[in-house]
Structure 1
């Protein structure tokens, strides 16, 4: 699933720069997931993102910038934001700020705010330098489907419609950025990710609210991507259990069910009874589970099973919270 067709020629960095600069699309690697990139301030180019992804117009895009100076072009930066940018940029943290009038309507889905991030990937940053303009880049997949962490995932998503891809190998984190809303009375995490609540609180020296737990009734549900109840979903339905202990053999079918396990002990427990299994991490390390999650779901979708059976990741660590957030949305509906 992560392999690349032999007849697909990957693009050079300058070819992707030319495509983006001319108002077209390109696929760029980031440290989180692969992004479908276009000029963030070009309404027509942004429209091509929405069209290729099949993305609802109410779902805003994250605008990628090189630095604070480029961020000031699109957003009104407050004192909280300056502290955050100094501490965590470039890196996997997106901040939501009041937008400036230069932002097109479709980039921010008509909101008064804009989500901005400075990626920490050498190739993406080089493209930003050469384009010298903010770049909108949601995940390079069809809307609500599993995010891509390899070039092969992107090709599988888009097929013959695939834009030029800058091959950056496998993404480092494998989960999307943390999204922090700084346009509220108190800072709010709208989407959990690699940067933790505790790290942000330590930086800002104030309470940070986790606003992603109850999305259905959240008035902030449109401020950021990744907040819809159904997201990151494979075609094969996911049955998500609270814990490994809830995976009962009598309710499973070895002919039709695929078990995704979080460590080797779990996998051995099921494979001895002839269940098809996939492994997220041999020893249950959270960073490995996070990095492998989307790739494993992509493989699972190709195995023609009727159900994917998983359980939530144990623990209160930040990455466990972020992984479980993705699993809840992937298994919704």
Structure 2
């Protein structure tokens, strides 16, 4: 079916086949030149098409019953925090779409990895659950940072995944001190126990009732990157709904899946 939609380049056919066999169904999207039969509305006028086979049993059944490929855009407003539950979709698109099918929370939390295949390399256009290390087993891997003038895949704009509340990246909550009367939420990576003054902080006033953070969400108590990825957008949404002045997020390690989490946080904090 891929060849009905995409014009497979001769130089990458074997590599594309290996990638598809390994990562489909799953959170991996391949961008390829499209065939003329693909409507422009599906590809936003681009001459390429992004293809993926979902591993979710509910969506797989929908595609099976429909019997044809489906164009499936993101279920959130442009540039905003990605949804990970049906309730998130309802909050974003209530009265804008006719139907929401609740298949439970997303498994990975992050959107799929998006890649395109060159002659002897794989270009990652958007980092995701399938990491550069996994892809490097098949070919050389490049991380492509596109400019805002030439966007080849979703999630490449400098500002994306952004909550309405201003978000800032920090190395550690230990070294962060809010301004007076500022209500700050913390998206934590480091163990909460490291922050002796997390809940009862002195702002130089001697008032131990003064809270350093109005709300805290720990991405993963065990510091597990997969758990952190699964929680990222849900916790961002929760903090965004609390009427805070600022959200600060601790940086996660940049290895493996951490690179994809950092990518989302950096774009969400872009102003």
TM-score scaled to structure 2, two decimals? 0.87
Matched, 1:308 2:241: no
Aligned residues between the structures: 255
CA distance in 1, matches of 2:112, 2:257: 11
Q: Over residues 301-329 of structure 1, what are the superposed CA-to-partner deviations in whole Å (9 max), with x where a residue is unaligned?
A: 11001111112112x42210000000011
Aligned to 1:209: 142
Does structure 1 retain, via aligned residues, the 8 Å contact 2:125–2:156? yes
CA distance in 1, matches of 2:175, 2:73: 34
Aligned to 1:322: 260
Show the 5 A alignment for 1:85-164: 85-164=20-99
Structure 1 residues 182 and 191, CA gap change in structure 2 (3 angstroms): same
Structure 1 residues 162 and 108, CA gap change in structure 2 (3 angstroms): closer
**What are the ranges of 5 or more consecutive residues in structure 2 without an aligned counterpart?**
202-210
Per-residue deviation at 1:137?
1.4
Structure 2 residue aligned with 1:287, among 211, 214, 226?
226
1:90 is paired with a residue whose SS is coil
Per-residue deviation at 1:131?
0.8
Q: Over residues 59-110 of structure 1, what are the superposed CA-to-partner deviations in whole Å (9 max), with x where a residue is unaligned?
A: xxxxxxxxxx2x2221123222111111111110000111111111122122
Report the aligned-residue RMSD.
2.0
Structure 1 residues 147 and 188, CA gap change in structure 2 (3 angstroms): same
TM-score scaled to structure 1, two decimals? 0.72
Per-residue deviation at 1:239?
1.1
Per-residue deviation at 1:295?
0.4
Q: Over residues 178-215 of structure 1, what are the superposed CA-to-partner deviations in whole Å (9 max), with x where a residue is unaligned?
A: 1111257632001111111121121x2x2111113xx3
After TM superposition, the runs of 4+ consecutive aligned structure 1 residues lying more than 6 A away are none
CA distance in 2, matches of 1:291, 1:179: 18
Structure 1 residues 260 and 131, CA gap change in structure 2 (3 angstroms): same
Per-residue deviation at 1:268?
6.0
Aligned to 1:257: 184
